[in-house]
Structure 1
Amino acid sequence: MPAETRDLTGTVVLVTGAGAGIGAATTTLLLEAGANVVVADLDRDRADASVAGWPADRVLTHRVDVRSADDARDVVAAAVERFGRLDSVVCNAGIGAFGGILDHPDERLTAIVETNLLGTVWAVRAAVAHFDQRGGGGDVVVVASVAGLGTAGGNESVYASTKFGQVGLAVSLDRELRPRGVRVSTIAPAAVNTGFADGLGRTAGDPLKDTYLSPLDVGSAVVTVLRQPRRMRTALWSMWSMAEDA
């Protein structure tokens, strides 16, 4: 007998950082599963390009700076106006850089902290406010990193701190929101073959990237937790390439 799964057809999912990388892969897989997707990205043109060819009634692209609480509320409101509701939020937007604690300007480190951590807080707050308004239920998926599980190297301390923060936020939210029917899942991948940190510790086109996880690997995990029957939840899913030491 096949395992029971939820049908995502017609559900509405907001994905932040959805214009490229993990976010774009997740968006594609969600659309293939029948969901309607709100494609939120700092670059509206990139968001539009990521869903070119999909029916216009299945997608909504929206420029969002996740560091802005107002932008988070605006995109949730736009989702509700367009589709009538929001069922899930995937907090995927993130940036990073490799190097020592003194190797980057203040502005870059501030952007990493605000994008990765505050960007998650604002998206969750906006989504949960809607979940509560409609009577409860919903899903929050946080795309963090194994760097937030104690595996970070000595050249990513600020980035790792934001990922620890995301994991801590999600663990606490799981306890807070479960009585209201909201599931909170954390997906924590190791290295993924995207443009992450290119020019800031990684190199575009580096053959080593071919040994990393693919964005579709992570997107598949997101879809899997959303398709779980409502009686169960996945609190933490860590993922590694077979070529990378855990």
Structure 2
Amino acid sequence: MPAEARDLTGTVVAITGASAGIGEASARLLVESGARVVLQARRAERLEALVAELGADNVATVTGDVRDPAAATALVRLANDTFGRLDSVVLNAGIGMYGGILDRSDDDLTTMMRTNVEGTVWGARSAVQAFRESATGGDVVIVASVAGLRGGADEAVYAATKFAQVGFAGALDREVRTDGIRVTAICPAGVETEFAIGAGRTEGDPSLADYLRPEDVAHAVVTVLAQPRRLRTTQWQMWSMGQGS
């Protein structure tokens, strides 16, 4: 008999990188599932559009750059100030730039490393602190990549950041499980979003038709959060049927 799903109605989920792609799709599906969401991204106009679409009763937003620890603090504070609690955080913000090890500028690589790695660490730290203070447990979901399980050519630095996320998730799981905090790394293969467009991908490339959709990964996010509290999924690897593994 399958495990019963938890009712997410009334739960509060914070999402980084929420203005497009996987973050935006996750926000929609979570609100559809009865959750309230606290969204963070750098593009205020896109966040405002989501509030208009999903309803101000269900959504709170704050702009911020995940490379700044203060942005993580502001996200958690907004959840508590607006909805009185924080149940889960989805650390989705990230960037990708493809190319050989010598093909990108120092600034490009620094931005990618700081966004993907530091952005994950700061968000997790703030969430864990909030979960421990409330003593009710919680979920930390990290949107990583299959590139963090096996790297490929022309993505060495990107893969390094994703390996860091996967390693961080595994270690953090061992650290906070006894506090009732679950940590999951979701590792999708290529997803058809604006991710890396102009930095290794070309908009309209026919090969993108074989990729996962943002809604596929959003489904994984909601499934993980809806698991009974007695169990946890530490890693979820995802491929479309059209992608070779």
Taking structure 2 as the reference length, the TM-score comes to: 0.98
- In 2, are the aligned partners of 1:28 and 1:51 still within 8 Å (CA)? no
Deviation at 1:50, TM superposition (A): 3.1
- In 2, are the aligned partners of 1:99 and 1:156 still within 8 Å (CA)? yes
Q: Which residue of 2 aligns with 1:226?
A: 225
Taking structure 1 as the reference length, the TM-score comes to: 0.97
The 1:179/1:3 distance shift into structure 2, 3 A limit, reads closer
Q: After superposition, give the CA deviation of every residue in 1:2-29 in whole Å (9 maximum; x if it has no partner).
A: 6401000000000000100010001100
Identity rate of aligned residues, in percent?
A: 57
Q: After superposition, give the CA deviation of every residue in 1:179-219 in whole Å (9 maximum; x if it has no partner).
A: 00000011000000001110111001112111100000000
Q: After superposition, give the CA deviation of every residue in 1:57-87 in whole Å (9 maximum; x if it has no partner).
A: 1100110200000111011111100000100
Question: Residues of 1 paired with 2:163 and 2:51: CA distance?
Answer: 31
Question: Residues of 1 paired with 2:145 and 2:58: CA distance?
Answer: 29
Q: Which residue of 1 aligns with 2:156?
A: 157
Amino acid in the other structure paired with 1:67:
R
| Structure 1 residue 114 corresponds to structure 2 residue 114 | yes
Q: Which residue of 2 aligns with 1:147?
A: 147
Q: Which residue of 1 aligns with 2:197?
A: 198
Taking only aligned residues, the RMSD between alpha carbons, in angstroms, comes to: 1.0
Q: Which residue of 2 aligns with 1:22?
A: 22
Aligned positions, number: 245
Question: Residues of 2 paired with 1:50 and 1:209: CA distance?
Answer: 25
- In 2, are the aligned partners of 1:95 and 1:112 still within 8 Å (CA)? yes
- In 2, are the aligned partners of 1:88 and 1:140 still within 8 Å (CA)? yes
Q: Which residue of 2 aligns with 1:181?
A: 180
Q: After superposition, give the CA deviation of every residue in 1:101-120 in whole Å (9 maximum; x if it has no partner).
A: 11111111101001101000
Bigger mean CA deviation after superposition, 49-58 or 195-204: 49-58
Amino acid in the other structure paired with 2:233:
T
Q: Which residue of 1 aligns with 2:77?
A: 77
- In 2, are the aligned partners of 1:20 and 1:50 still within 8 Å (CA)? no
Amino acid in the other structure paired with 1:111:
T
Question: Residues of 1 paired with 2:31 and 2:2: CA distance?
Answer: 22
Q: Which residue of 2 aligns with 1:93?
A: 93
Question: Residues of 2 paired with 1:69 and 1:5: CA distance?
Answer: 33
Amino acid in the other structure paired with 1:137:
G
Q: Which residue of 2 aligns with 1:39?
A: 39
- In 2, are the aligned partners of 1:5 and 1:229 still within 8 Å (CA)? yes
Matched residue SS, 2:184: strand
Amino acid in the other structure paired with 1:85:
R
Matched residue SS, 1:57: coil
- In 1, are the aligned partners of 2:16 and 2:90 still within 8 Å (CA)? yes
- In 2, are the aligned partners of 1:191 and 1:212 still within 8 Å (CA)? yes
- In 1, are the aligned partners of 2:16 and 2:23 still within 8 Å (CA)? yes
- In 2, are the aligned partners of 1:120 and 1:166 still within 8 Å (CA)? yes
Structure 2 unmatched runs, 5+ = none
